[in-house]
């Protein structure tokens, strides 16, 4: 159900982003504006991300199997990391083009944007604002790392488009160097977005601790019959966290009583710490 909802969101986003890319690309080519072409390239990354997401979400929704006992959820996080790769390519291309434009003669960098083209750019800005708001809201509702990562990129696209609009207005006054300069600023913003996504996804991929150890220990030891809790591990994204803990129980407790305590620990950890799955090992002491 969750994966189907996420896929429906991405299908709608793909159609909308494709329209934004087409509009920016046509205006960029017609006007000769490097900044607008850079913005179109950035928006095309959004569309490519949507295609990637549709593939990744389908894979991530598969049930656990023999080769993937913890499920396929990390494929979604890996897809979010793939966004960083697309952004890196965008940054490289924009910097290269901007530097080449700056060393050209001023006459070769003429930018001419008509009022109709300017109005179209403003319209794409409004569309990007709505996309960013909707995508982030749905990402939070569905607990999707991929949707939230893509929403972060879309918010950056809003800033980029606004900057491009300012650059276009100034460039129309004859300041030829503004266009490539704005393109370089665009690159810096994209690099910042890529870094934020990287910081959020890498800890999940390398199985960084998902829940503070003392929180799991305190919660487990609060269950009657648990003498101590240790050997604690946790992993996973915020919406799909796993934990493993060993509890020490009275050695005189029979098997049924010990398992009852373990079940209570499992339920307490799931409810109090919002864990998806908990493995409890029992040791007599």
Q: Which residue has the higher pLDDT, 75 or 211?
A: 211
**Among 208, 275, 202, 272, which residue's Cα sits nearest to residue 243?**
275
When pLDDT is cut at 50, 70 and 90, the band that residue 222 belongs to is very high
Q: Residue 33: is its pLDDT beyond 60?
A: yes
Q: Residue 108: is its pLDDT beyond 60?
A: no
Number of other CB atoms surrounding residue 258 within 10 Å: 18
- With left for phi above 0 and alpha for psi between -120 and 50, is residue 225 left, alpha or beta? left
Chain-centroid distance of CA 251 in Å reads 48
Q: Residue 203: is its pLDDT beyond 70?
A: yes
Give me the phi and psi of 73, to 5 degrees please: -60, -30
Q: Using the CB atoms, write b or e for 49-87: b if 16+ within 10 Å.
A: bbebbbebbeebbeeeeeeeeebbbbbbbbbbbbbbebb
Q: How far is CA 196 from CA 2, 190, 193, 199, in A?
A: 25, 10, 5, 5
> For the residues 91-118, what does the mean pLDDT come to?
71
When pLDDT is cut at 50, 70 and 90, the band that residue 210 belongs to is confident
Q: Residue 278: is its pLDDT beyond 60?
A: yes
* Per-residue confidence (pLDDT) for residue 264, from 0 to 100: 92
Q: Give the CB-side neighbour count of residue 223, counting CA atoms within 13 A.
A: 27
Structure token digits, residue 10: 């991405």
Q: Which residue has the higher pLDDT, 265 or 186?
A: 265
Q: Residue 201: is its pLDDT beyond 80?
A: no
Share of the chain above pLDDT 70, in %: 85
* Per-residue confidence (pLDDT) for residue 32, from 0 to 100: 73
pLDDT digits (tens, 9 = 90+) for 55-80: 766 765 666 666 665 665 666 677 77
* Per-residue confidence (pLDDT) for residue 246, from 0 to 100: 92
Q: Residue 172: is its pLDDT beyond 60?
A: yes
When pLDDT is cut at 50, 70 and 90, the band that residue 284 belongs to is confident
pLDDT digits (tens, 9 = 90+) for 234-254: 887 766 788 899 999 888 888
Q: Residue 228: is its pLDDT beyond 80?
A: yes
DSSP conformation class of 276: S
* Per-residue confidence (pLDDT) for residue 68, from 0 to 100: 61
Average pLDDT, the chain: 79
* Per-residue confidence (pLDDT) for residue 60, from 0 to 100: 59
Beta strands 228-235; 277-284: pairing state: unpaired
pLDDT digits (tens, 9 = 90+) for 109-150: 556 777 788 888 889 888 888 988 888 888 888 777 677 777
> For the residues 24-53, what does the mean pLDDT come to?
78
What pTM, to 2 d.p., does this model score?
Answer: 0.56
Long-range own/partner contacts, residues 69-72 (CB < 8 A, 24 or more apart)? 70/236, 70/242, 71/240
Question: 113 by DSSP, 3-state: which?
Answer: coil
Q: Residue 1: is its pLDDT beyond 60?
A: no
Q: Are 88 and 194 in contact (CB under 8 A)?
A: yes
Q: Largest Cα–Cα distance of the chain, in whole Å?
A: 90
């Amino acid at each position: 159900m969750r994966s189907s909802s996420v896929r429906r969101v991405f299908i709608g986003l793909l159609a909308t982003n494709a329209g934004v890319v087409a509009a920016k690309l046509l205006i960029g080519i017609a006007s000769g504006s490097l900044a607008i072409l850079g913005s179109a390239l950035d928006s095309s990354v959004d569309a490519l991300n949507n295609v990637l997401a549709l593939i990744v979400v389908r894979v991530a929704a598969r049930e656990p199997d023999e080769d993937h006992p913890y499920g396929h959820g990390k494929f979604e996080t890996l897809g979010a990391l793939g966004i960083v790769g697309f952004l890196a390519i965008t940054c490289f291309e924009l910097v290269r083009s901007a530097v080449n434009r700056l060393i050209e003669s001023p006459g070769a960098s003429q930018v001419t944007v008509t009022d109709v083209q300017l109005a179209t750019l403003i319209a794409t800005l409004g569309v990007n604002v709505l996309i960013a708001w909707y995508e982030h809201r749905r990402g939070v509702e569905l607990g999707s790392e991929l949707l939230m990562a893509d929403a972060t990129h879309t918010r950056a696209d809003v800033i980029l488009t606004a900057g491009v609009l300012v650059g276009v207005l100034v460039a129309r006054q004859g300041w030829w160097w503004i266009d490539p300069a704005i393109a370089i600023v665009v690159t810096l913003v994209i690099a910042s977005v890529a870094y934020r996504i990287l910081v959020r996804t890498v800890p999940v991929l390398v199985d960084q601790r998902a829940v503070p150890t003392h929180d799991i220990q305190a919660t487990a030891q609060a269950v009657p019959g648990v003498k101590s809790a240790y050997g604690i591990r946790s992993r996973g994204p915020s919406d799909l966290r796993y934990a493993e803990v060993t509890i020490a129980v009275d050695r005189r407790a029979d098997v049924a009583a010990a398992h009852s305590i373990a079940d209570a620990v499992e339920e307490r950890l799931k409810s109090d710490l919002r864990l998806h799955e908990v493995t409890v090992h029992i040791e007599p002491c």
